[in-house]
Amino acid sequence: MLTIDHIAYYLPPAKPINQLPLTHQPPDTLKLIYKKIFGLQTVLFHDMPVLEFISTPVQLLTKKVNLQAENIQYLIHTHTSYLMTPFNLNITQYIKEKFNLGVAYHFGMTMHKCAAGLKAIELLAKRFSTTTEKISALILTGEIAFSPALRYIPRTGMGGDASTAILVSNAGNRHQLLGITINLLSDYCKGIYMTDATAKTLDTQFIAAMTEVILTTVAKAKLQLSDINLILPHNVNLPTWQKIASRLHFDVNNIVTNHISHFGHCFTSDGFINLALAQKSQRLQQGDYYLIVTAGMGMYLAAAVFRA
């Protein structure tokens, strides 16, 4: 069984949306909608070079755990942008060398876009199920919205900059993965390049499809939705989660939406940051059941149930 053993995160300072570079802001005609309806006030904005930005949570993790003693076999950087670095600047190799990790398999995953973090969890869970040997993996999430195409997400939200390092294994006691679903919703593979008409069709399907993924995942874990204490969502916008809560008949107060207005949508990092902060604020207690829920352009819908 896969367990999340440790999480460390880096959150740069938040910046008001109207102080971002002009090309990164929503058009003037939509600013009020983004602020009043989507609930977006500020976004996390990077203040350090990329490699430092990605390595900071790993550095923080080394204060909690001796990574060299963890038998880490996989180092995976999950991200959304198809370009993250100039060619042949390899982030996982840099992390491997910087922290002296003896890992052979270090690579990036981006097919599932913002759901790539959960895809890595799913993949590792399968791998862990085939062995009794104790093995670990280090998942890195995070990227910088360096271009308007990443920062301003039409009709949806604003990209924020944050990074995490997540140590998972098959031998932990807490945060056990009980069920996971990743579905591909057909016909939306153009992602941010889809037409307005296609986007409208997606809007009509999204809430129903996402609630179905959530319910399927809860059922896989042999639980009822009423057993779930908390949903840790991707920080896209408030109305989406209000609609999902309403359709599920789930108390919206038990969906962690309070970071959306300050952080923005931090790509593959949202669910894991929300998990770490929910623990820190004691919204999540040992033994609680919780869901991490996210979507990735393409269009992937993903949910995973854990027991804290």
Partner 1 sequence: MYISHVLIHHPYTQSITPPRARFLNFCKDLFKLYGNELNPLSLSQGGQYTFAELGGTIFEKCQSLGYLNDLDLLISTNWSPEFDPDYAHWGPYLANRFNLNCDMFDIAEQGIMSSYTALHWLQQLSLTNKVNKAILLGLEQTTIAQAQSDQTVLPSVNGAGVLVLEQTQPAHHCLRVLTTAILTPAKRGANQTELISDWLKTQGVTAQVSWQRQASLLSIFKKLAALMYALPTKDNKFLLAERDVTSQQIGLLLLESLAV
In the complex with partner 1, which residue's Cβ is closer, 277 or 295?
Answer: 295
In the complex with partner 1, which residue's Cβ is closer, 22 or 104?
Answer: 104
Residue 228 in contact with residue 250, Cβ under 8 Å? yes
Closest approach of Cβ 184 to partner 1, in Å?
A: 6
Closest approach of Cβ 95 to partner 1, in Å?
A: 11
In the complex with partner 1, which residue's Cβ is closer, 96 or 175?
Answer: 96
In the complex with partner 1, which residue's Cβ is closer, 109 or 252?
Answer: 109
Closest approach of Cβ 86 to partner 1, in Å?
A: 6
Write a three-state SS string for the chain: CCEEEEEEEECCCEEEHHHCCHHHCCCHHHHHHHHHHCCCCEEECCCCCHHHHHHHHHHHHHCCCCHHHCCEEEEEEECCCCCCCCCCCCHHHHHHHHCCCCCCEEEEECCCHHHHHHHHHHHHHHHHCCCCCCCEEEEEEEECCCCHHHHEECCCEEECCEEEEEEEECCCCCCEEEEEEEEECCCCCCHHHCCHHHHHHHHHHHHHHHHHHHHHHHHHCCCCHHHEEEEEECCCCHHHHHHHHHHHCCCHHHECCCCHHHHCECHHHHHHHHHHHHHHCCCCCCCCEEEEEEEECCCEEEEEEEEC
In the complex with partner 1, which residue's Cβ is closer, 257 or 294?
Answer: 294
Closest approach of Cβ 202 to partner 1, in Å?
A: 12
Binding site for partner 1 (CB under 8 A): 49-50, 77, 82-93, 102, 104-113, 119, 123, 126-127, 129-130, 144, 146-149, 184, 186-193, 296-300
In the complex with partner 1, which residue's Cβ is closer, 94 or 288?
Answer: 94
Residue 207 CB coordination number (10 Å): 17
Closest approach of Cβ 90 to partner 1, in Å?
A: 6
Find, among 201, 133, 139, the residue nearest to 164 by Cα: 139
Closest approach of Cβ 183 to partner 1, in Å?
A: 11
In the complex with partner 1, which residue's Cβ is closer, 129 or 224?
Answer: 129
In the complex with partner 1, which residue's Cβ is closer, 46 or 175?
Answer: 46
Closest approach of Cβ 251 to partner 1, in Å?
A: 33
Closest approach of Cβ 209 to partner 1, in Å?
A: 14
Find, among 228, 224, 255, 229, the residue nearest to 241 by Cα: 255
